[in-house]
């Protein structure tokens, strides 16, 4: 090999090379911010981005030497990329894990790039209940949905989600939750006792192909503007089988206000002639029979009080066996994505719903007071011995499933405020998820 002669003087400009900079995947390509995430029992972690600067040495060597080195580097990069490239993961191949088949062990720490957009999508479907609800007391349609069901997602600019609403859900306002129900001040209104509280939707063919299954989604409306509804709760547990839910264990109990909202009806109202429970069970049964030959999943979502209704309806579906296909005896996976939801029942309810196979992922803001209630004093965080002694009390509650804890104080994009309503805001929670 011929000897190469280099000049005695070298120029050493240093330049940062971004090809070695570590980046995390972000489906929405939004700015990153530190957030705290937690897996069951509020295990928290921080996402960090590391950046390393690599100096590069340049010389006045001959053009042939520079070309040779550049070519050699390109060949090395090509070989490295070829050997280390992994096959692309598709949601259709791993949807069972994303829906909680293994209780989200792994996908939460760090956040799986396929799980993040799914959580955001279901959160946006819960947010749609607020965006479509008529809050205006001077409207004679106050308390109803502002859009027709067949144009629901189109009216909200959410056609990209690929779902079609198949039924609206209504509840009677005769129970003691005045801060949840809205009524018009007009003398002639669409209904004197009913309120729109959510919808049932199903994925279209294109989205079904991308998801890997036909997804039946139930979205429940919650409370977004005021937190006084917490005080409206009777904070009293009662057996679920007392409201016609077929539970063989009389010690399985849930908060009485949630149960009444879910099961009450008014036969004189055409919207509430059937209870919310009867409406959802009838529609889920119809859809599972319609798509009996396809792979299916049942996903229930809701924010705040809607998160409690999501938990209760998911339990009802599996307790009644509605998720079991009669022809093949296969059980459809039932998952709950709850956002800022309160506690729903006692420890026996927690054990029962988990033993039936319902997968629950609760996304919460650690600064929010709603997930800490009811059961402020006796809950799953007290010592096991004390919990065992107090589990029979009518105010001893326990959370269900896996918790994903976020903290809005770690976001540089959210204004710090002492207003507890801000910590309970669903859009702020979705921002933290997207972070």
Mind telling me the catalytic residues? 304, 368, 424
How far apart (Å, rounded) are the C-alpha atoms in residues 363 and 303?
9
Q: Do 11 and 56 meet the contact criterion of CB atoms below 8 Å apart?
A: no
CA separation for the pair 184, 177 (Å, rounded): 16
Whole-angstrom Cα distance, residue 109 to residue 180?
Answer: 35
Q: How far apart are CA 111 and CA 26, in angstroms?
A: 10
Q: Are 65 and 4 in contact (CB under 8 A)?
A: yes
Q: How far apart are CA 279 and CA 95, in angstroms?
A: 28
Residue 255 CA to residue 276 CA, distance in Å, equals: 16
From the number of C-beta atoms within 10 Å of its C-beta (0-12, 13-18, 19+), residue 146 rates as: middle
* 253 bridge partner residues: 239
Q: Which residues are registered as beta bridge partners of 301?
A: 219, 337
Which pair of structure tokens corresponds to residue 317?
């579906």
- Per-residue burial over 244-267, b if 16 or more Cβ lie within 10 Å, else e, is ebebeeeebbbbbbbbbbbbbbbe
Nearest alpha-carbon partner for 302 in 110, 210, 171: 171
Query: Using CA atoms, how far apart are residues 147 and 406, in angstroms rounded to an integer?
Result: 33
Cα–Cα distances in Å, from 345 out to 203, 348, 351? 31, 8, 10
Return the half-sphere exposure (C-beta side, CA atoms, 13 A cut-off) of residue 421: 7
Work out the number of other CB atoms within 10 angstroms of the CB of residue 324. 13
């Amino acid at each position: 090999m011929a000897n190469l002669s280099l000049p005695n003087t070298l120029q050493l400009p240093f330049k940062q090379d971004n090809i070695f900079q570590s980046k995390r995947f972000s489906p929405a390509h939004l700015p990153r911010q530190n957030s705290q995430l937690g897996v069951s029992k509020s295990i928290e972690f921080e996402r960090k981005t590391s950046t390393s600067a690599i100096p590069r040495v340049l010389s006045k060597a001959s053009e042939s030497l520079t070309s040779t080195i550049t070519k050699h580097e390109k060949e090395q990069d090509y070989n490295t990329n070829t050997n280390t490239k992994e096959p692309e993961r598709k949601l259709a191949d791993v949807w069972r894990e994303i829906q909680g088949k293994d209780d989200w062990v792994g996908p939460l720490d760090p956040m799986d790039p396929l799980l993040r957009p799914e959580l955001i999508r279901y959160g946006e479907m819960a947010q749609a209940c607020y965006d479509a609800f008529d809050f205006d007391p001077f409207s004679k349609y106050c308390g109803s949905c502002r859009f027709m069901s067949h144009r629901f997602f189109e009216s909200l600019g959410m056609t990209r989600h690929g779902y079609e609403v198949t039924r609206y859900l209504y509840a009677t306002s005769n129970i003691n939750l005045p801060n949840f129900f809205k009524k018009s001040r007009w003398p002639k209104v669409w209904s004197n006792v009913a309120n729109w509280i959510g919808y049932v939707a199903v994925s279209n063919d294109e989205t079904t192909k991308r998801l890997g299954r036909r997804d039946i989604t139930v979205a429940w409306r919650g409370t977004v503007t005021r937190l006084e509804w917490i005080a409206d709760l009777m904070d009293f547990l009662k057996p679920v089988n007392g409201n016609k839910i077929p539970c063989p264990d009389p010690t399985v109990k849930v908060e009485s206000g949630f149960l009444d909202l879910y099961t009450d009806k008014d036969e004189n109202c055409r919207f509430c002639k059937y209870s919310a429970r009867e409406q959802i069970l009838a529609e889920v049964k119809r859809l599972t029979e319609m798509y009996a030959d396809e792979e299916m999943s049942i996903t229930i979502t809701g924010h705040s009080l809607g998160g409690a209704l999501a938990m209760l309806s998911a339990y009802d579906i599996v307790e009644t066996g509605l998720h079991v296909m009669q022809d093949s005896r296969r059980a459809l996976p039932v998952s709950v994505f709850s956002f800022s939801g309160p506690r729903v029942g006692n420890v026996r309810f927690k054990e029962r719903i988990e033993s039936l196979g319902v997968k629950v992922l609760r996304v919460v803001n650690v600064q929010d007071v709603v997930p800490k209630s009811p059961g402020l004093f006796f809950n799953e965080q007290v010592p096991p011995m004390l919990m065992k002694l107090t589990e029979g009390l009518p105010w001893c509650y326990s959370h269900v499933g896996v918790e994903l804890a976020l903290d809005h104080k770690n976001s540089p994009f959210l204004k710090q405020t002492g207003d507890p309503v801000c910590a309970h805001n669903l859009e702020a929670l979705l921002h933290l998820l997207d972070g």
